[in-house]
Chain A
């Protein structure tokens, strides 16, 4: 996993529904593949993504091996007021990436 990319609108009004786009690089190894020696490559995928805004969870994704490598996610939020997003990605190895981004609420 590497530093994720987040796309939020430049600014938003209270009550406005905004689209949130996130992208992170990850191999999303399915566990179905074999290496050249015929040994099974162990599964390692991002299994959970969560997005919280101003301390409240607004969106969660439970991912399975059917999600492509470098998972892209898009979802929506109705802006409740000013606040900061906290995004987190957790993979099968227990690695966790947390990214915070403030939403410019006008």
Chain B
């Protein structure tokens, strides 16, 4: 390739090889782009958190209204059953709203000093959707829970 590029006057044969190589290179990114288009932004957000790890079922309690009248402010409480000791604790709680323009809602980072793996806040939901909670444990495992919320008036001010 390099020889072809550097050569000021490529022969007909060199030119043909170079052109074929360039076509192959161009085809690869295009395929990658197409593959990315098929995954939703929320799936990408979840993959960014999990990496290659497979989440397991765990005791995550998500308290949220089943029907949120105002999507601008939907209260939530998340609690995970964890002893919160130096060797066994919840490192982080990630929240992903699957149908928001920006699916990542928040990441809460905890320590053994937290004593209890629970957080509460209020989120915006643009429309009816699933909210995913992922708990990242100190041993590298992940717990995941999904919760459907119906939204009457959407938030996010789009």
Contacts and interface: CB of A to CB of B under 8 A. Distances in A.
Nearest to A66: B105
A66 B116 contact: no
B156 A30 contact: yes
A71 B97 contact: no
A77 interface: yes
A75 B118 contact: yes
B108 A68 contact: no
Interface string B110-125: 1111111111111111
Nearest to B94: A62
Nearest to B45: A64
B124 A30 contact: yes
Given A30-B156, A77-B113, A77-B114, A61 B107 contact: yes
Given A58-B111, A62-B109, A76-B114, 8 more contacts: A18-B115, A59-B111, A65-B156, A66-B105, A67-B106, A74-B77, A74-B121, A77-B114
Interface of B: 72-74, 77, 84, 95, 97, 100-125, 155-158
5 nearest interchain CB pairs? A78-B115, A66-B105, A17-B115, A74-B120, A76-B116
